[in-house]
Amino acid sequence: MPEVPPVSGLLETALYVADMPRSARFFREVLQLRPMIEGDRLTAFDAGRSGVLLLFLAGASLEDMPGSGGVIPGHDGSGPVHMAFAIPVGSEDAWRAHLAAQGVPLRSEVAWPRGGRSLYFDDPDGHVLELATPGLWPNY
């Protein structure tokens, strides 16, 4: 069998949102993410470490999207999904204060066995977002 080429990282994470301006504003203002593309159907944010957060308007990407370079297969999602952002050790108090100032309530906090800490909260569509320090996983 030929050797499988390695995966070098996770590049994109997608959330499907009901109101693009509301959701884009949340990620821009609450998490201070920088938009790279902004539109009615898709907004792409720089999520750090070469990661990209894609916000798709729910139901607007069901059909294949032909383009000059090829076809992007249709996709969509529903229900509350989960994603986590990496934050530095020791920044939890600052994040708690920032989220409170933005009117974003924490849903939960977890202290992990490896020493990592997580703060959980919801975005405007009910997606469960996490801010996690190193020590959560063996590779983080």
CATH number at residue 92: 3.10.180.10
pLDDT value of residue 24? 98
80: nearest Cα among 122, 47, 26, 110: 122
Confidence of residue 86 (pLDDT cuts 50, 70, 90): very high
Pairing of β 117-122 and β 106-111? antiparallel
Tell me how far apart the alpha carbons of residues 65 and 70 are, in angstroms, rounded to a whole number.
8
Assess if residue 50 is contained within a domain.
yes
CATH number of the CATH domain containing 46:
3.30.720.120
pLDDT value of residue 1? 84
Among residues 3, 38, 92, 130, the one annotated as catalytic is 130
pLDDT digits (tens, 9 = 90+) for 100-132: 999 999 999 999 999 999 999 999 999 999 999
Amino acid identity of residue 37, one-letter, is: I
Give the domain range for residue 15. Answer: 9-60
Number of domains in the chain: 2
Assess if residue 17 is contained within a domain.
yes
Tell me how far apart the alpha carbons of residues 109 and 73 are, in angstroms, rounded to a whole number.
37
pLDDT digits (tens, 9 = 90+) for 34-83: 999 999 999 999 999 999 999 999 999 999 999 999 999 999 999 999 99
Tell me, yes or no, if 92 is annotated catalytic: no
Confidence of residue 2 (pLDDT cuts 50, 70, 90): confident
